[in-house]
Chain A
């Protein structure tokens, strides 16, 4: 049944997100086209407008992925549509897993759309060389390979945002266990859960630091000129901790859902 639920969740999201994807790529093309044309004042003005539109669409893509995931989650589980969701012959775990996977997929797609849009608008041999040179400077200083740096950077950003989305899910579930002001409680609880999750991650890094002096330097010195090996350790450690926290939080969400819902 999970695949069937996922089919409808993906359909809903694609219907709502497609416009942002299309516009993002469209303005990326117009940006590239306008800046490759012979420049005049008018072309330049239109070009700048196109750049503005592209960036606003790129940002909208990311923000909408997060917001619509929360809205979809709330509507499906607690608003009018929940009358269908909760009467379908599927487990609460599958309902949650479907939303989780849908968010994961659309966050990856959103991320890809941003990169593709920027690539279409700005790719040139010179720009590419400038970016790689810049990254190389960082990675040489940190004693990392470029691939490792870029991969870890993307993974950490991805896990951080995904963790925030899931904190929102838990906030919605716990907020809707209340009888009044459910939305207010959802937002407040979601925020508190996010702070707690971040504190736990930081606390565990501190605990790890008790056994690794290079990591402990982060807490003791207060400056960022710490041993380069500590960055590698931190990147891997924080990624692993995020994954564990996301997993534990999904178990808490499912457990709370399985205790039953109270739909208005």
Chain B
């Protein structure tokens, strides 16, 4: 069964077409890189899947259901910004996730917090932006979701932590789940990708299995991306 179906999605802002006739499917057990330059439409597409934007036309189905309460139960989403109420302590945010998401694993969250050297009793307002992003990643990866959508998960963290985050992503989702990672730091995530979707000017310009693409072009995804989007 298809995990995610995006059918003829168009999104217009102020008469400007931000996404144009986007079509793709995702099945379970894959790690997909949603790759594109800044302003290509990656975040818009992700926000549409997460009900943060309303499509101008087209349809998005998650496990056969339209975006709504049921799809939010199975999607674990990490936005590209810090979005938690900064007055809250980390422990309170964990409590919130436990309250709302049946698939949230509190013990896993606590373990990941310790690994990342984060204090569960600290208020978010006292944490740096990078630390807050780590807390958000912990929360998202502590869910046993079917689809993880990570928008720029590596953007605000130091290179040393990036490897840990990628290992965390790899080791913390179940085999039937899929992960969509949107980033322009392609070389960092290349090693974990099963599939790539290149998006440019609101259109999908390439969708391929990562290994097949590497073999066909005889170079890395990062290099293919650089060639394709050379300014």
Of B54, B70, B96, B100, which one neighbours A260 at CB under 8 angstroms?
A: B54
**A80: interface (CB < 8 Å):** yes
Among A167-206, those with CB < 8 Å from B are: 179-180
Tell me which residues across on chain A come within 8 A of B81, comparing CB atoms.
80, 83
Of B69, B73, B83, which one neighbours A84 at CB under 8 angstroms?
A: B83
Q: Which of A26-34, A46-54, A86-94, A119-127 contacts B (4 or more CB under 8 A)?
A: A86-94
**B115: interface (CB < 8 Å):** no
Tell me which residues across on chain B come within 8 A of A219, comparing CB atoms.
none
Among A2-50, those with CB < 8 Å from B are: 4, 7-8, 12, 15
Of A81, A87, A261, which one neighbours B85 at CB under 8 angstroms?
A: A81
Tell me which residues across on chain A come within 8 A of B96, comparing CB atoms.
8
The CB with the most chain B CB atoms within 10 A, among A8, A15, A259, is that of A8
Of all chain B residues, which has the CB nearest A90?
B69
Q: Judging by beta carbons under 8 Å apart, are A91 and B99 in contact?
A: no
Q: Judging by beta carbons under 8 Å apart, are B13 and A87 in contact?
A: no
Q: Judging by beta carbons under 8 Å apart, are A179 and B77 in contact?
A: no
Q: A80-B82, A88-B72, A90-B100 are in contact. Are A179 and B13 (CB under 8 A)?
A: yes
Against A, the Cβ 8 Å flags (1 = close, 0 = not) of B107-147 are 00000000000000000000000000000000000000000
Of A12, A83, A88, which one neighbours B79 at CB under 8 angstroms?
A: A83
Among A116-134, those with CB < 8 Å from B are: none
The CB with the most chain B CB atoms within 10 A, among A1, A4, A83, is that of A83
CA distance A261 to B96 in the complex (A): 23
Q: Judging by beta carbons under 8 Å apart, are A86 and B101 in contact?
A: no
CA distance A73 to B49 in the complex (A): 23
Q: What bracket does the count of chain A residues touching chain B fall in?
A: 20 to 34
Tell me which residues across on chain B come within 8 A of A80, comparing CB atoms.
81-83
**B14: interface (CB < 8 Å):** yes
CA distance A14 to B75 in the complex (A): 31
The CB with the most chain B CB atoms within 10 A, among A179, A261, A263, is that of A263
**A82: interface (CB < 8 Å):** yes
Tell me which residues across on chain B come within 8 A of A81, comparing CB atoms.
83-85
Tell me which residues across on chain B come within 8 A of A83, comparing CB atoms.
52, 77, 79, 81, 83
Tell me which residues across on chain A come within 8 A of B83, comparing CB atoms.
80-84
**B17: interface (CB < 8 Å):** no
Of B70, B72, B99, which one neighbours A87 at CB under 8 angstroms?
A: B72
Against B, the Cβ 8 Å flags (1 = close, 0 = not) of A51-95 are 000000000000000000000000000001111101111110000
Among B75-112, those with CB < 8 Å from A are: 75, 77, 79, 81-85, 87, 96, 99-101
Tell me which residues across on chain B come within 8 A of A8, comparing CB atoms.
96
Q: Judging by beta carbons under 8 Å apart, are B73 and A179 in contact?
A: no
Among B34-59, those with CB < 8 Å from A are: 47, 50-54
**A225: interface (CB < 8 Å):** no
Shortest distance in angstroms between A27's beta carbon and chain B's nearest beta carbon?
A: 25
CA distance A15 to B73 in the complex (A): 29
Among A89-126, those with CB < 8 Å from B are: 89-91
Tell me which residues across on chain B come within 8 A of A4, comparing CB atoms.
99-100
Q: Judging by beta carbons under 8 Å apart, are B13 and A86 in contact?
A: no
Q: Judging by beta carbons under 8 Å apart, are A89 and B84 in contact?
A: no
The CB with the most chain A CB atoms within 10 A, among B47, B51, B72, B85, is that of B85
**A262: interface (CB < 8 Å):** yes
CA distance A8 to B50 in the complex (A): 22
Tell me which residues across on chain A come within 8 A of B72, comparing CB atoms.
87-89
Give me the interface of A with B, judged by CB distance under 8 Å.
Answer: 1, 4, 7-8, 12, 15, 80-84, 86-91, 179-180, 259-263
A–B complex contacts, Cβ < 8 Å, 9 sampled: A80-B81, A83-B79, A86-B52, A87-B77, A89-B72, A89-B100, A91-B69, A180-B14, A263-B52
Known: A83-B81, A87-B51. 11 other contacts (CB 8 A): A80-B82, A81-B84, A83-B83, A84-B85, A86-B51, A87-B52, A88-B72, A89-B101, A260-B51, A261-B53, A263-B53
Across the A-B interface, the 10 shortest Cβ-Cβ residue pairs: A260-B54, A83-B83, A89-B72, A263-B52, A89-B73, A83-B79, A80-B83, A4-B99, A88-B100, A89-B69
